């Protein structure tokens, strides 16, 4: 009787183990790691191209109270580098620096000048960014310190005596200009670590005064007349608007895993 009872218990235990083995095996199956959440945090490096319009206002306050305004237009291209940090939630802050080669050119003609001309050769900026992330889309504002290599030319026929002698005045006023920039844009993560951006920017390089000492030796040597050729003292104000598209690579940064909640 006792042996029969032990044999019965052993059979029952074996049945329970065999019946529960699939559940035990399922519990031992490895759980896949949670999918990472995209983050804007990380360093970035990219290229961009665009077009711009520079606005020049010239005032020759020692000559007929003359003033003139005109636009210089053209294309530009350059590179940008920066770092973004996504705070808890959708807020993103960052810094960015950029440099651009440019070909913005324009001129105007108005009495008593033959013409005035402006050429923007290069410009750049050091900026802060703040944005709001909608998952892979970032809407941001940008602004900071701006620099521009801006070259102005004034061609002036001069006084009546100089004009009669056939010596027009062509003077160049090249200067590094400093100011600020402000704007905004959209950036979208479309594949892997690659993002594309569309951006508008306004630049203000302020007003700068120029005093031209002129020159007289060539005319004195050629004609014997002590005539001094110079552009009167003047001021120049420069502002610029740009639009651009860019392609950026965001270097890998530890992603935030999805944590299951029960």
* pTM of the complete model beyond 0.85: no
In 3D, which of 169, 70, 55, 54 has the Cα closest to residue 112?
A: 169
* Six token digits for residue 82: 């920066």
| Cα–Cα separations (whole angstroms), residue 241 to 53, 57, 155, 229, 256 | 5, 15, 26, 35, 38
In 3D, which of 40, 45, 44 has the Cα closest to residue 86?
A: 40
pLDDT tens digits, residue range 84-101?
A: 999 989 999 999 999 999
Q: Which residues pair with 96 in a beta bridge?
A: 82, 127
pLDDT tens digits, residue range 191-230?
A: 999 999 999 999 999 999 887 766 544 444 455 555 556 6
pLDDT of residue 162: 45
Q: What architecture is the 39-253 domain classified under in CATH?
A: Beta Barrel (2.40)
Q: Which residues pair with 179 in a beta bridge?
A: 146
| pLDDT higher than 80, residue 256 | no
pLDDT interval class at 136 (50, 70, 90): very high
Count CB atoms within 10 A of the CB of residue 124: 19
Segments making up each domain of the chain, as ranges: 39-253
């Amino acid at each position: 009787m006792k042996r029969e009872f032990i044999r019965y218990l052993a059979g029952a235990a074996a049945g329970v183990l065999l019946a529960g083995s699939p559940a035990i095996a399922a519990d031992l199956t490895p759980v896949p790691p949670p999918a990472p959440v995209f983050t804007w945090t990380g360093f970035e490096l990219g290229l961009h191209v665009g077009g711009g319009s520079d606005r020049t206002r010239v005032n020759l306050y020692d000559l007929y109270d003359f003033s003139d305004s005109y636009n210089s237009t053209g294309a530009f291209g350059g590179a940008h580098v920066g770092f973004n940090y996504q705070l808890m939630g959708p807020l993103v802050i960052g810094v960015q620096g950029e440099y651009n080669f440019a070909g913005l050119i324009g001129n105007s003609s108005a009495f008593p000048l033959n013409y005035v001309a402006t050429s923007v050769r290069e410009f750049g900026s050091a900026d802060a960014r703040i944005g709001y992330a909608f998952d892979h889309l970032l809407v941001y504002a940008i602004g900071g310190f701006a620099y521009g290599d801006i070259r102005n030319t004034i061609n002036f026929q001069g006084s009546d005596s100089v004009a009669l002698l056939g010596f027009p005045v062509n003077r160049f006023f090249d200067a590094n200009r400093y100011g600020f920039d402000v704007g905004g844009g959209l950036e979208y993560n479309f594949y892997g670590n690659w993002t594309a951006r569309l951006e508008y920017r306004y630049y203000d390089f302020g007003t700068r005064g120029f005093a031209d000492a002129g020159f007289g030796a060539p005319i004195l040597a050629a004609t014997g007349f002590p005539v001094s050729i110079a552009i009167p003292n003047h001021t120049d104000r420069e502002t610029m608007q740009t639009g651009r598209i860019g392609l950026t690579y965001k270097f890998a940064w530890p992603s935030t895993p999805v944590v299951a909640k029960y």
